[in-house]
Amino acid sequence: MSKNGLSGFGDLARPKLLRWKLKNSALKKYGDILQGDRAQEPELYAQFQIICEDVLQRLSKDAKRRSKHNIGIWHGSGSAQLPDAHTQTVVRKPDILVLRRSTIQSLNRTTKLKINRIQRHHLWGLTLFPMEVEKTKQKPSPPKTTKAVSNKKSTNDPRGSHRYTIKDAQLGSYVLECFLANYRMFVIALSLKNYDVTLWYYDSIGALRSIPFNFLHDPRCLILVLHCMNEASSAQAGFSPFIAEATILGGRPWVWKGQRLEFTNSGGLLRTFIVTDDPLFISRQMQGKRTFILPVKPADKKAPKREMVLKFLWLDRGRSPEIVLINEICTAAPELKEYLPRIFFDRFYNSEMDLHLPRFNLNIQFNKLKMRDLTVIVAESCYELWMVDSLEEFKTAFVNIFKCHHRVFIKGRILHGAITSRNIMFYRREDSSVVGSLHGFDDSFRVDDTDTVIPSEVSHSPCISPFTATDLLDITIETPHRYCHDLESFFYVLLWAGVHFDLKNHKEKPMDELFALWNVHTEADFTKAHDNKSEIWHNDGRLNRFKSRFTEDFIPLWDEWVTPLRELFYDAQEEEKRIRAQTPDQETLNSILTFENFMGALGQEPRTWD
């Protein structure tokens, strides 16, 4: 990212930078603190704030703006704490935040009246400055050098390789908080090390880092950054362009309930949806799909009076959007419409042509990155299976979904590829009977007449979750996704449901320690999860640990479904060993792992659709 690569803030007119200096008195105190025996970050916050506020005031004067500048610097006197969004127990200081002035006023009132903690939903922030102090014996240049750009090197040599530090991890944590606050399209952040400022850009595709600039020797860069942030609209600062008239009056914490989301359909017609409650699901990803689901209702009073959900998802450009696959399935097998998501509205946004993400304005090649585009789907609400009223209803929905999955594979020629507890759901007909519904076709594969994933989609990464099949966790070999892998995932879903679903209270328990090793992130995690799952087929003691955790509701399912299925997979594993030197039928392991055999283990007759 070049010095001029600030286009994320839009085409903003530059102030008259050449005649500008930074505030000498604050610069001198900043340098004195750095040279002190006990330089502390909080001591630098106040001086850096004075430097920035002075620039912002002169920016407003230069622009002949009557009102005060739009943004301000806030650091909570170096003592405010931010609870971790996931655990709400671990706290940390947020360093320097660049916030809307109304938010700063609210935070100042909050920290005076209550304990020194701020909530993550206060982060209606533009960016942030995690600060790192590196002790140096060199004396800083005198402030008079700020009148011109110097050719001196930055403290961080821009030509050297960047070492990932604990401060980078801290920055990533704060960026994630900003993403989670109200589903931003991108976040531009800054990190500060002594006099060096580095710009960082994060979106669903990846992260970019600029060459550091030294604000002592090159004040124009800092002035330009502050100018861009001060003039940026919400959309130019990365906030969602779909939130209609998004405001936080008086700096109140952000809430989703009541917000209006506006989209235009392919015909240019405006569709508005009102958020009815808190988010149903928030992915804690900075890159990748970043799935985000909200409960909504159409603003149009003529629309169906049904509960709906709106899903944002950043899809790998090489994959087909979920709505495309669902339409293909419904065309090939219209009898499945009842068991698939009931789509009310959908929209696809190209990240470059429609959303104009700043990364595409930079002169950078992205050949090795996977491009992602935003998909928006509004569908009628379904519920996770722990919301059913009885084990019999669970079994009905599960069998519905399993049969639908096979029909999608056989007639729709699509392998689902992402069987998880969240993707198998249900709804009720008008007579209150339960209908299973298969969701989550974002990671699906098209298959050919031999039931093999088509060559153009073989390279697509599989969905990795606690329910991923053992073969796909072996990172030493490349294994194409097969139908039998989805069967194995269905088995893991049964184990998960038995341990976590509390049907009497309609709750899902937190992840049990038995499944902790199945939640993979690193290469070592893949190996541990592979070995741990492999034990299930041959180690009775290992399997019985799951039985001991089954809830009272699901105990009858152990002998009825789990044991027969475990025997089926055991036979398949033994057959794989026997014929390993040969060329086995990889799809079914010599007709052992088939739809018919799986249904037989469930005590069910295969459904005749035709």
pLDDT in tens, 53-91: 888 888 877 766 555 667 777 676 666 666 555 555 555
Q: For 338-349, b where at least 16 C-beta lie within 10 A, e where not — what string?
A: ebbbbebbbbeb
Residue 152 has a pLDDT of: 39
For the cut 60, the answer to whether the pLDDT of residue 8 exceeds it is no
Task: For residue 148, give the 3-state DSSP assignment.
Answer: coil
Query: pLDDT confidence of 589, banded at 50, 70, 90?
Result: low
Cα 482 to Cα 409, 412, 423, 450, 452, distances in angstroms: 11, 15, 18, 11, 7
Q: Give the mean model confidence (pLDDT) for residues 205-213.
A: 90
Query: Please, which residues have CB within 8 angstroms of residue 174's CB and are 6 or more apart in sequence?
Result: 94, 95, 128, 130, 189
Mean pLDDT of 354-379: 88
| pLDDT for the residue numbered 154 | 43
With beta carbons less than 8 A apart as the criterion, state whether 79 and 70 touch: no
Give bridge partners of residue 577 from the DSSP assignment.
Answer: none
Q: How far is CA 520 from CA 305, 485, 536, in A?
A: 41, 17, 18
Q: What is the mean pLDDT of residues 91-103?
A: 64
Question: For every residue of 107-118, which 3-state class applies, written as one string?
Answer: HHHHHHHCCCEC
Model confidence at 600, in pLDDT bands (50, 70, 90)? very high
For residues 163-177, give the mean pLDDT.
Answer: 71
Please determine, for residue 202, whether its predicted confidence score (pLDDT) is greater than 50. Answer: yes
- 95 pLDDT higher than 70: no
pLDDT tens-digit readout, 314-364 = 999 889 999 999 999 999 999 999 999 999 999 999 999 999 999 998 877
Where do the structural domains in the chain lie, given as residue ranges?
24-104+120-133+165-237, 256-337+342-381, 382-609
Please state, rounded to an integer, the average pLDDT across all residues of the chain.
81
CA torsion 85-89-92-94 (nearest 10°) is: 30
Dist. CA 174–CA 128, nearest whole Å: 8
Mean per-residue pLDDT, 270-279: 93
Q: Residue 153: is its pLDDT beyond 80? A: no
Q: How far apart are CA 603 and CA 592, in angstroms?
A: 16
Residue 275 pLDDT more than 90?
yes
| pLDDT for residue 479 | 85
Integer Cα distance of 207 and 200 in angstroms: 7
Instruction: Mention the CATH class of domain 382-609.
Output: mainly alpha
d(CA 461, CA 508) in angstroms, rounded, equals: 28
Measured between alpha carbons, how far is residue 40 from residues 45, 133, 433 in Å? 9, 8, 64
By percentage, how much of the chain surpasses pLDDT 90?
43
CA dist 119 and 83 (Å) reads 7
Residue 311 confidence (pLDDT)? 97
Hey, what amino acid is at 252?
R
Task: Say what the pLDDT of residue 72 is.
Answer: 73
pLDDT: is 606 or 452 the higher one?
Answer: 452
Pairing of strands 434-438, 424-428: antiparallel
CATH fold match for the domains 256-337+342-381 and 382-609: no
Q: What share of the chain is helix, strand, coil (3-state, %, to 5)?
A: 40, 20, 45
> Considering only 352-356, 426-430, 573-577, which range has the smallest mean pLDDT?
573-577
pLDDT band per the 50, 70, 90 thresholds, residue 6: very low
Residue 283 has pLDDT above 60, yes or no: yes
Give the residue among 376, 374, 369, 394 at the shortest CA–CA distance from 384. Answer: 394
What local confidence, expressed as pLDDT, does residue 78 receive? 62
Which 8-state DSSP code applies to residue 376? E
* pTM summary value: 0.84
Based on the number of CB atoms within 10 Å of its own CB, is 164 exposed (0-12), middle (13-18) or buried (19 or more)? Answer: exposed
In angstroms, the CA 410 to CA 609 distance is 12
**pLDDT recorded at residue 4:** 40
Write the class of the CATH domain 256-337+342-381.
alpha beta
Which long-range CB contacts under 8 A does 156-162 form with residues at least 24 apart?
A: 156/193, 156/196, 156/198, 156/212, 158/211, 158/212, 162/209
Helices 483-500 and 391-410 pack at an angle, to 10 degrees, of 170
pLDDT > 70: what percent of the chain?
76
- Predicted local distance difference test score (pLDDT) of residue 581: 54
**Are 184 and 238 spatial neighbours (Cβ–Cβ below 8 Å)?**
yes
- 287-321 pLDDT, tens digit per residue, is 899 999 999 999 988 877 889 999 999 999 889 99
The mean pLDDT of 528-554, rounded to a whole number, is 92
Tens digits of residue pLDDT in 430-456: 999 999 999 999 999 999 998 899 988
Domain 24-104+120-133+165-237: give its CATH code.
3.90.1570
**Taking residues 190-214, what's their average pLDDT?**
89
Q: DSSP secondary-structure letter at 135?
A: -
pLDDT tier at 158, thresholds 50, 70, 90: very low
pLDDT score of 42: 77
From the list 44, 93, 76, the residue with the least C-alpha distance to 197 is 44
Per-residue pLDDT at 348: 93
- Whole-number Å distance between alpha carbons of 81 and 219: 30
- Indicate whether 116 pLDDT > 70: no
Model pLDDT, residue 403: 96
Token reading at 406: 């096979």
Q: What does the pLDDT look like over 458-484, one tens digit per residue? A: 778 778 899 999 989 988 888 889 999
Calculated CA dihedral for residues 473, 476, 482, 484, nearest 10 degrees = -50
